[in-house]
A and B are shown apart, each in its own frame.
Chain A
C-alpha cells in the first residue's frame, strides 16, 4: 500500500521561510495526484490552504504557496508568523475516487 510521506516536524524563525514536502513511498508526486494542503490548530477543524497543487483557497494569504518540487508536492510559507505554528497535512488523489493523507508536519515558529 502506498504511503504518503511528510516531514514529522519543522522549525522556522519568525519572518522566515519554510518549505514542507509531500511525497510517496513509491514513485513521484505530480500534478496528476492533485495535491492539497490543510492547516490544523490542535482542537480545531482543518482549514484548506491549497488545492490542485497551487490554487489558494478563499481567504488564504499569498504567503502560502504550493508547487511540485522535484518528485514531491511542496507547501511554502513565507514570512512565517506565530499563528502559523500548527499542523500541516497534505492529501493526494490515488485514483478511483480515493484519497490518502500524509501523516502531517508539526511546524514550530521560534
Chain B
C-alpha cells in the first residue's frame, strides 16, 4: 500500500525557515517523481514544486522560487521541502504527492495527509 507521511509543520515567524519531510513507503521511491502542493485555510490547491526521480531536476511555482528548495534522499525514502524567508501568505497545509509516468508526463496519483505550516508573529 502506498503511504506518504508528511512531518515538520508548525508555527514559524515571518522571515523564518522550516523544513518539511515526507516519508514514503509501499513503492519504489526512486522510480517516482514527487510534488509538493499546498492549500491555504479555506482556499484551493496550489502547486508548489516537483523533483525528478534522482533529484537532479527541480521546478517551482513563481511564488516560491528562490525561497523554497525541494530535494529527496532516496536511501531514506524521504522527500523534503526547505522553506526560507517565510511569509504570512505561505500559511497552508502542505501535501506531498507521488507522480506516475503516463503518456509523456509525470502526473500526481497518490497524496499524503498534509502538514500545517503557520507563519505568524
A→B interface (CB under 8 Å):
34, 36, 38, 40, 45-48, 51-52, 55, 57-58, 87, 89, 91, 93, 96-104
Asked whether, in the complex, the Cβ of B45 is within 8 Å of the Cβ of A98, the reply is: no
A47 touching B59 by the CB < 8 A rule? Answer: no
Q: Give per-residue flags for B2-35: 1 if the beta carbon is below 8 A from chain A beta carbons, else 0.
A: 0000000000000000000000000000000001
In whole Å, how far is A36's beta carbon from the nearest beta carbon of chain B? 5
Bound CA span A102–B47, Å: 10
Given contacts A45-B112, A47-B111, A96-B59, A101 and B105 within 8 Å (CB-CB): no
Given that A45-B95, A97-B50 are contacting pairs, would A102 and B108 also be in contact in the complex, using a CB cutoff of 8 Å? no
Q: Mostly helix, strand, loop or mixed at chain B's interface?
A: strand
A103 touches B44 (CB 8 A): yes
B111 near A45: Cβ-Cβ < 8 Å = yes
Expressed in whole angstroms, the minimum distance between the Cβ of A69 and any Cβ of chain B is: 19
From B59, B95, B108, A51 is in contact (CB under 8 Å) with: B108
Q: Let me know if B109 and A101 touch, CB within 8 A.
A: no
Question: Could you list 12 A-B pairs, sorted by A, with CB under 8 Å?
Answer: A34-B103, A34-B105, A36-B107, A45-B113, A48-B109, A51-B107, A52-B103, A57-B109, A87-B44, A97-B59, A98-B47, A98-B59
A52 contacts across to B, CB distance below 8 A: 102-103, 105, 107
Q: Closest residue to A1 on the B side, CB-wise?
A: B62
Pairwise interchain contact B44-A48, C-beta atoms closer than 8 A: no
Q: Does B46 contact A (CB under 8 A)?
A: yes
With known contacts A48-B110, A98-B59, A38–B45 Cβ distance under 8 A = yes
A6: nearest chain-B partner, CB-CB: B44
Cα A95 to Cα B60 with chains together (Å):
12
In the complex, whether B57 has a CB less than 8 A from a CB of chain A is yes
In this complex, what residue of A is CB-closest to B48? Answer: A99
Chain A nearest CB from B81 CB (Å) reads: 16
Please, which residues of chain B bring their CB within 8 A of the CB of A57?
109
| Residue contact A101 to B107, C-beta cutoff 8 Å | no
Shortest CB distance A18–B (Å): 19
In the complex, besides A45-B111, A101-B45, 9 extra interface pairs with C-beta distance below 8 angstroms are: A34-B107, A46-B37, A51-B107, A52-B102, A52-B105, A55-B102, A97-B50, A97-B59, A98-B60
